[in-house]
Structure formats: C-alpha cells, structure tokens
Amino acid sequence: MKRARSEGTLYLRKDGRYEVALFMNTSDGIKRVRRYADARTEAEAILVELRKKNDNGIKINSKEQKLGDYLDYWLLIVKSSSTRHSTYVSYESTVRLYLKPGLGKKYLTKLCVPDVQSFLDNQSKSGKSNRNLQKMRIVLSAALERACYEERLIRNVARQAKTPMYKPKEVLPWNLVQLGKFLEFARASPHYAIFVLMSLYGLRTGEALGLSWSDIDYDNRVILVRKQIHFINNQYGIAELKTKASRRELPLLDIAKRVLQKCPQSYEGPVPQLLFKTSGGLPVDYNNLRRSFKSISRKAGLPVITLHTLRHTAATNLKNLGIPAKDAQSILGHAHITTTLQIYQHTNLEGKSKALEQYEEQIFDFRTRSRQSLPSNVKAIA
C-alpha cells in the first residue's frame, strides 16, 4: 500500500546518518522537509514530532535553524518591544557571553533538556555564580517561549533544567533614627534634595533623577512621577515608566517643597526641563550620586547600604508606622501588593517589639477590664 505524503519516510544514508523526509506546511508553502540524526531512535522521534506538527497544522521552517541564529532574531524582537533598554542590554550580554558560545551551534528543534542541563552544569563547574546560572536559564527560557509561541517548538526545554538555589543577600534597611541621622549629615551635599525625595517617597533612583520642573505642581501640591533616567555603559537615556502603577501622583509635602524651592532652576543642557542637573547641564551621574551617598553614610557612622535600599527603608518605616500596605504600594508604585509585602517591607526588632507591645497592652487591658466587670463574690482567674 502506498504511503501517504504526510507520513514521511526514514532511511539510512551512505554517510551513516539517518534521514527523515516528509511533506509539510512551511512558511514557504508545502515543502519536502528533511531532518537528520545520528541514531535511528532519534530519527524516529523526529519523525513522530514532525507528524504531530503536521496533524496540528503547525508551520515550520523548511530549513533547520541553529539556536544561535534564533537568539539573534529573538534579541531584535526584544529590542523593538516595550522592554526596558536595561533589560535588553542584560539579555544581550547573557546571549553573547554564555548562550551562543555554549549552545549556539545546537539546532533549535533538536535542543533537549540534557543539552541545557549539561551546559548549566559546565558553567557551574567553571565558577559561575548561582545567580548567573539562574539568569542564563531565565534568558534561554524566554527565547524558547517565543519559539513555542511562533509554533517552532512544542515545548520549552529550558523550563525543565535545574539550577542551584539562589539566595539574595539579606536587605537591612535603616530605621527612622538612622535615616534622620543620614539626612542631617547630607544637608551640605549638592544631592541633598535627591536624598530627601528618595527617603520620603521611596523613589527609584532613575525616577528621582528623571523629575522635571513641569512635574512639580506647587499650586495643587503634587509631584508627578512619569519618567526615569537610566545609565548604561556610561551613557544616559530617558524613558517612560513601564507600568501604570509606576506612573503616579504623590503629595508635595512641606519638607519636599522647601528643598525643591532651594534647587537652582537651569534650563540649559540637552534636557532643559530636567530638575536635577550638573553644572554642565547634564543629568546627575548615577555613579557620582552613589559615591556621595556611601561617603555621607560612612561619615555619619551608619551601616553602608545601597541607594536602592532607601526604597526598602521607606517601605519598612511606613509599615512600622502602621501605614496600610495598600497605601504603601501606591506610594512606591508597585503593580502588585505582594511586591510591597514580600520584597520591600522587612521585619526588624523594632517592628516586632512595637507589635508585641501593642499585643501585650491589649491582653493585659482585657484582663484588667475582665476583673472589673466580675461580681464582687466571683474571683477572677489569676
């Protein structure tokens, strides 16, 4: 009985490899597609997969594509999308430094879990950190997810690969006393207004540096957070904030108003409306701001934290003051309240002491009230 065109054929070639061939729906129309394998079992698996794609109406490329070529194509999609430029730069470096050298010559459709796992294990043996391994798997998984969406793959093999558990460093934000001490020592700094806004509102560094004079509404006492400045390879760029929650209005508090009114208004330089600028009219450099922050922290005798930890500090102090988590989420500009609760708000001894003191007060006030409400002939439980 004659075999149907869609069933395909499998045979041993003269060079010792096995060839699979069948007519398939491709992006160029119905074409005879050929695939090759070193073992018969592998060739049979390829034939089964191709038949399954045919049955499901999935179009494929008439020629096999190597993973390295697909990663280049995927990066172009990432670059042209709404992804932050800093995210694209991070993806590009991971692809260029690790994924293409280690897996780039593998065919996209033949990539399997053992290939990815072996690659990650070798990277681990060469001394790469757990965080770096995790990043490699995440970037590869994102690229393969796109290939699944385009129906080039049936499954994302990177999801099945395992990496060692990554434990981020514990964040230890300042308490109110430490924060007040830092701001007192920072008064003489040219960056004082930036530090005040970041401490008070928990602004991201890029958000604080991206504020414009038009974002400050003195009449309605509002600060509009709309843009951010990012620094990559010693070059700056201005971008819209990514999420709706990040684009927010904040009340212009008295201390913020006073420090902003003392800032010199200059409309020179490539970004005339920018609030915080250098004497040359350029945006304040992130590295200079970071060095200034750490220097003042040391002079004040405080534990040295990162600039971003000021955001954690604001979130945690708001929690310790009893501010509802939903309000803290809105102030910080988080899209999800779980981000506020699980990542930015930390439990410290001060917070635990305050909570337990309130609990203690409630317990013993209740015991006292209970005794007072009992009849004189009934003894309260000691």
Contact 246, 227 (CB under 8 A): no
pLDDT for the residue 330: 92
Contact 20, 37 (CB under 8 A): yes
**What is the domain class of 176-344 according to CATH?**
mainly alpha
Exposed, middle or buried, 280 (CB in 10 Å: 0-12/13-18/19+)?
A: exposed
Tell me which residue has tokens 């149907």: 4
pLDDT for the residue 106: 93
Rounded-to-integer distance, Cα 361 and Cα 356, Å: 8
Q: What is the pLDDT along the chain (382 residues), one digit of tens a residue?
A: 455 556 788 889 888 888 888 888 776 678 787 877 778 888 888 888 888 877 777 766 656 789 999 999 999 999 888 677 778 889 999 999 999 999 999 989 889 999 999 999 999 999 999 999 999 999 999 999 998 887 778 789 999 999 888 777 788 899 999 999 999 999 999 999 999 999 999 999 999 999 999 999 999 999 999 988 887 666 787 888 878 888 999 999 999 999 999 998 877 778 888 999 888 888 999 899 999 999 999 999 999 999 999 999 999 999 988 889 999 999 999 888 888 888 788 777 776 777 777 767 777 765 555 555 555 554 544 4
- List the one residue out of 318, 301, 338 whose CA is nearest residue 199: 318
The conformation of residue 283, written as its DSSP 8-state character, comes to: B
Rounded-to-integer distance, Cα 305 and Cα 302, Å: 9
pLDDT for the residue 241: 83
Distances (CA, A) of 52 to 72, 78, 158, 306: 28, 30, 21, 53
Contact 232, 283 (CB under 8 A): no
Cα dihedral across residues 12, 14, 19, 24: positive or negative: negative
pLDDT for the residue 369: 58
Q: 29 - beta bridge partners?
A: 26
Contact 75, 95 (CB under 8 A): yes
Rounded-to-integer distance, Cα 258 and Cα 284, Å: 20
CA atoms within 13 A on the CB side of 100: 15
Q: What is the average pLDDT value for the chain, to the nearest integer?
A: 85
Exposed, middle or buried, 50 (CB in 10 Å: 0-12/13-18/19+)?
A: buried
pLDDT for the residue 314: 93
Q: Which own/partner pairs from 256-262 qualify as long-range (CB within 8 Å, at least 24 positions apart)?
A: 256/196, 256/197, 256/200, 256/201, 256/223, 257/218, 257/221, 259/192, 259/193, 259/196, 259/197, 260/193, 260/216, 262/193
How crowded is residue 294: how many other Cβ atoms within 10 Å of its Cβ? 14
Rounded-to-integer distance, Cα 240 and Cα 74, Å: 23
pLDDT for the residue 244: 87
Cβ-Cβ contacts under 8 Å for 248 (sequence gap 6 or more): 225, 330, 331, 333
Cβ-Cβ contacts under 8 Å for 121 (sequence gap 6 or more): none
Cβ-Cβ contacts under 8 Å for 49 (sequence gap 6 or more): 109, 154
What token pair was written down for 341?
Answer: 């609760």
Assigned fold of 67-160: DNA polymerase; domain 1 (1.10.150)
The ranges assigned to domains in the chain are 5-55, 67-160, 176-344
pLDDT for the residue 149: 84
The structure's pTM equals 0.68
